[in-house]
Homo-oligomer: A and B are copies of this chain.
Amino acid sequence: MPQASLDRHSPFPAEAPTRADAKAMDARDPLAKARDLFQLPHGVIYLDGNSLGALPRHAANRVFETMRAQWGEDLIAGWTKHGWMDLPARVGRKIGELVGAPEGTLLACDTTTINLYKLLAAALAERPGRRTVVSERGNFPTDLYVADGLFRTLGKGHRLKLVDRAEDVVPAIDADTAAVMLTQVDYRTGALHDMAAVTKAAHAKGALTIWDLAHSAGALPVDLAGADADYAVGCGYKYLNGGPGAPAFLYVAHRLQASFMPALQGWLGHAKPFDFDGSYRPADGIQRTIVSSPPILSLVALESGVDTLLRWNMADIRAKSEALTEIFRILIDGVADRLGVVRASPREVARRGSQVCYRHPDGYAIVQALIERRIVGDFRAPDIMRFGFAPLYLRHVDVWDAAANLVDVIETRAYDEPRYRVRAKVT
């Protein structure tokens, strides 16, 4: 089913931005050319780059060449000849530029959840007398699960202290708090924590901070060092465009590296891995957080995504992200009562990441109906329609068209079809 052409009969109030306004913004968009660096399916408006980012055009060739010219021709020598062994640090350095992590504090490796486990175990070891980890009940489930699994494995009485609202986080931090573990941008609502303020409050009580940058890295400027953050993890397959199941990253502040004894001790984190010493002696610095041989093909794909981002600057990316989310919010807010939708994201642009979400009792079906029109958002239980705006490959006019189709799908009850109610597994 095609998208409805709604520019002649705008469903929005007269004072709302018009499709022509959106096209004018595209015409003066400093990131307009970035879109050409991605392979995008024809006719699709993709508002799910916060689940799986789009394919950078050069990524497939780079991985292909790595396989044919490096692995195929040089075999084991590839580890030194092509710098494979240094890929976690090299890609980590590049991601570090996006999130304010100085050289030697960030590596690309493993998965977000596994990295979180490493850091949480380290944080508890750094604060041995303390028993609680403060987080939000609405945090991404894996963050809570991994803490729960670690606590059960340790069997020392650690527990999660979960709060319901962002503003309850700081008051919950006390002398028993080992760490504050938060996702900077809420995966459902897009609400953005003040990293510097929360970190400062945690430090004031002697607690450490662990930031999950899953929905931040590549979407907005992050300043880990400036915020004095202790630990952080992040995802490679969302705004970093690293591909499905791409490697994640982890950050450990310089001051915490010397005392970091890994729970997951692997041979490549050893000071001298090729001595094959029977006793573990951690490598200097961040390298000790590495467990195993790095996944070269995945890291090359991730590096392609990060390189694409680094051609632009985060201030421009954030400015466009704000413009995109703001167009969508203004348009839908203006008709929200008429549609029966309730905004789940903060109104103020400074308080949200690169997504805008609305609640509707039929949210799941509405999202499916939009997908059939090739407008791809996603749904998060129980009733949230989530729309992510990746600034590098989305146009302002795409956002206008998506908003207009959302209105049309709801007002014409196009979503009210049995086939839209069958739930499939989606991420």
Contact = CB atoms under 8 A, between A and B. Distances in A.
A29 B292 CA distance: 36
B244 A280 contact: no
B293 A237 contact: yes
A226 interface: no
Contact of A76 (B48, B63, B277): B48
A60 interface: yes
Given A79-B427, A245-B293, A381-B274, A267 B63 contact: no
A414 B51 CA distance: 57
A146 B75 contact: no
Interface residues of A, number: 98
Contacts of A275: 381
Nearest to A295: B245
A347 interface: no
A260 to B, nearest CB: 12
Given A72-B41, A142-B267, A114 B110 contact: yes
Contact of A296 (B67, B245, B381): B245
Contacts of A75: 41, 44, 46, 48, 52, 54, 376
Contacts of A46: 75
Contacts of A301: 67, 297
Interface stretch (A149-157, A309-317, A319-327, A401-409): A149-157
A278 interface: yes
B427 A293 contact: yes
Contacts of A110: 110-111, 114
Contact of A79 (B59, B277, B426): B426
Given A64-B64, A266-B146, A425 B72 contact: no
A64 B68 CA distance: 11
A112 interface: yes
**Interface-central residue, A63, A72, A150, by most chain B CB under 10 Å:** A72
Contacts of A248: 292
Interface string A275-287: 1111110000000
A381 B60 CA distance: 38
B144 A278 contact: yes
A172 interface: no
A52 B237 CA distance: 26
Contact of A153 (B84, B111, B121): B121
A54 B68 CA distance: 11
A244 B293 contact: yes
A141 interface: yes
21 contacts: A39-B72, A41-B72, A41-B73, A46-B75, A67-B301, A71-B244, A76-B376, A76-B378, A76-B426, A80-B425, A112-B292, A113-B266, A113-B292, A141-B276, A149-B263, A149-B280, A243-B296, A244-B294, A274-B425, A274-B427, A297-B297
Closest 4 CB pairs of A and B: A149-B265, A111-B292, A142-B267, A245-B295
Interface of A: 39-41, 44, 46, 48, 51-52, 54-55, 59-60, 63-64, 67-68, 71-80, 84-85, 110-114, 117, 121, 125, 137-138, 140-142, 144-146, 148-150, 152-156, 162, 237, 243-248, 261-270, 273-280, 291-299, 301, 371, 376, 378, 380-381, 423-427
Given A39-B73, A76-B378, A149-B265, 16 more contacts: A52-B75, A55-B71, A67-B243, A67-B301, A110-B110, A112-B292, A113-B267, A114-B264, A114-B266, A138-B278, A141-B270, A141-B276, A142-B292, A274-B425, A295-B298, A297-B301
